[in-house]
Structure 1
Amino acid sequence: MNRKQIGIIVFVSAVIVGTIFYFTIGRQALRSKNVKQIQLSGTPEQTGPLNSGNVSPISGLACENWNKRSVAVMQPADVQARPAAGFTEADMVIEMPA
């Protein structure tokens, strides 16, 4: 074997050994350096509703059915694709840009 073949064999062997090392030991060692421990308290926090009273969370207006399921309507900018029905039942109407 000549020097060129020996050099290629050494290079390929080094790449194979490096790849095996990275996928078995090296990757775990790199991950363990970046781990940050999170301190958790044992008592859960008591949470309540974010809005107080009869206030809609979307519009911010007072209404009697504030806790019902929200309805949103997206209005296309094309006149042909615009159905003008159902806007009165929507809590929020969003128009898509043309």
Structure 2
Amino acid sequence: MAKRLSNESSISDVLKEFIEVNKLQNGMDKIDVQAAWKSLMGNGVNSYTKEVMLKGSTLYVSLTSAVLREELSYGKEKIIKMINEELRKEVVTAIILR
């Protein structure tokens, strides 16, 4: 049973409790990673991005340009670091570009 929150709880505390009780954190992380990719990569990369999907701690990114895929493969560690810094927690540990 969920613990009862007092009437003086802030909305952020109530939402955190709701996410924790209903085990929604994985879904929230998937949405946050997609948003972080779009904001960090910019319009140029996003125009060639077909799909961004988080499975476990691995980020799968489908790209329509082989040249861009090759270019991004050189900076995988930097991309992982940038996304995790944007989310303020360690969510992504690996990136697969396809």
TM range (shorter): under 0.3
In the superposition, the TM-score normalised over structure 2's length comes to: 0.20
Say which structure, 1 or 2, has more relative contact order (CA 8 Å, 6+ apart). 2
Structure richer in helix, relative to its length = 2
Q: Report which of the two has the higher share of strand.
A: 2
Question: What TM-score results when the alignment is normalised by the length of structure 1?
Answer: 0.20
